[in-house]
């Protein structure tokens, strides 16, 4: 069963408040999302495997820990997910980046892929799928399905804020995918927006509105 982690670290909570603030401008919004993504990456890498390595300190020989060299993949959901990529790469520079783009078919209301490109060695990598918002869960569920059909085995999902409805839907669709959230909000409103939320993350990131 999927686990849900809510990062209540004070630094994350503090920055998130200003991300929510509608008076925060595009440039500052972008910087804050970048910073929170870095902080979340710190938390999400907590379970990275380690192994022993022998080093010689100026005093004596000792055995110490190093990363076991797990191959990572980072997949932003277009377009707002891009805003979190640089922040995560600061901590995991060797991660390869892929992309998944989806749109909602106006007739069926189902998400449809319009762009998918993943690192060539999909099966060997541990993936983090990122999107600032988890609302109904439709995009995240479909994006993760895309990864799985292409052979991805280990997937985590990370977002800034989530609605309880979206978390439930994602857990049900992909019980093997752990979910990492900076804040779990109250609910979805009638228009499908997270309440209180932060508005449209894509528009605020790219300054398109």
Partner 1 sequence: MRNILYLTVMLLVLQLGVSQAVATSKLTHPPIPKQDKSVEKVAIVLTEDFESQQEIEKRLEKHPEVKLRRVFKHAIPGYSVEGPLQALENIPEAKQVTPVQSYRAEATATNIELIGGERVRGILDSKGHRLSGKGVTVGVIDTGIDYEHPDLHRNFGGGHDLVDGDKDPMETKGVGGSTLHGTHVSGIIAANGRITGVAPDAKIIGYRALGPGGTGTTEQVLAAIDQAIEDKVDVLNLSLGNEINGPDLPISLAINNAVEKGIVAVTSSGNSGPNRWTVGSPGTAAKAISVGASTPPLKVPYLSVSSQADRIKLQPLMGSEKWELDRSIEIVDGGIGRANEIKNAEGKMVLVKRGTLTFTQKAKNAAKAGAVGVIIFNNTAGSFIGNLEEKLDLPVASITLAEGEQLRKTLKKTQEFARLDLVEEQDQLADFSSRGPVTVTWDIKPDVVAPGVAIESTVPGGYLALQGTSMAAPHVAGAAALIKQAHPKWNPEQIKAALMNTALPIQDETGKGYRTYEQGAGRIQVEEAVKTETLVMPGSLQFGRFRLSDHHHRHTTVVDVQNHSTESKRYSFAIPKHEDGIEWEMPMSFELEAGESKKVEISMLIDPDVFKGKIHDGYLTLNEGSNQINLPYLYVLEEPDYPRIMGFAFAPADKPGHYRYEVYLPGGAEEFGIALFDPESYRFVGFLDARRNVKKGLLEVELSPEEMPAEGGYLAKVFAKKANQEDRIDTHLFIFPEEQ
Q: Output the smallest distance, CB 17 to partner 1, in A.
A: 23
The tokens for 182 are 């900076």
C-alpha to C-alpha distances, 150 to 11, 122, 125, 144, 146, nearest whole angstrom = 36, 7, 12, 10, 6
Is 79 catalytic? The answer is no
Phi, psi angle pair for 132, to nearest 5°: -60, -30
Q: Which residues bind partner 1 (CB under 8 A)?
A: 27, 30, 51, 66-71, 76, 78-79, 82, 85-86, 89, 93-94, 96-99, 101, 103, 114-115, 117, 119-120, 205-208
Q: Output the smallest distance, CB 88 to partner 1, in A.
A: 10
| Contact present, 161 and 198 (Cβ < 8 Å) | yes
> Looking at beta carbons only, is 5 or 206 nearer to partner 1?
206
| Contact present, 94 and 44 (Cβ < 8 Å) | no
Could you tell me which of 80, 74, 48 has the C-alpha nearest to residue 161? Answer: 80
Q: Output the smallest distance, CB 69 to partner 1, in A.
A: 3
Is 86 catalytic? The answer is no
Is 104 catalytic? The answer is yes
> Looking at beta carbons only, is 101 or 197 nearer to partner 1?
101
Q: Annotated catalytic sites, by residue?
A: 104, 108, 200, 203
């Amino acid at each position: 069963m999927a686990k849900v982690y809510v990062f209540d670290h004070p630094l994350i909570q503090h920055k998130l408040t200003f991300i929510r603030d509608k008076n925060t401008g595009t440039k500052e919004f972008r910087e804050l999302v970048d910073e929170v993504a870095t902080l979340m990456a710190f938390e999400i890498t907590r379970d990275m495997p380690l192994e022993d390595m022998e080093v010689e300190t100026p005093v004596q020989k000792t055995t110490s820990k190093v990363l076991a060299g797990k191959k990572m993949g980072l997949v932003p959901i277009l377009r707002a997910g891009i805003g979190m990529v640089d922040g995560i790469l600061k901590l995991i520079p060797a991660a390869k980046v892929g992309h998944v783009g989806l749109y909602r078919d106006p007739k069926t209301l189902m998400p449809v892929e319009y762009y998918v490109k993943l690192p060539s060695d999909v099966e060997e990598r541990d993936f983090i799928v990122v999107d600032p918002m988890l609302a109904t869960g439709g995009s995240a569920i479909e994006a993760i399905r895309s990864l799985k059909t292409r052979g991805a085995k280990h997937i985590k999902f990370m977002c800034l804020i989530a609605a309880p409805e979206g978390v439930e839907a994602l857990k049900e669709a992909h019980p093997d995918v752990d979910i990492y959230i900076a804040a779990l909000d109250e609910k979805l409103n009638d228009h499908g927006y997270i309440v209180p939320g932060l508005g449209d993350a894509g528009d605020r990131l790219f300054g398109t509105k």
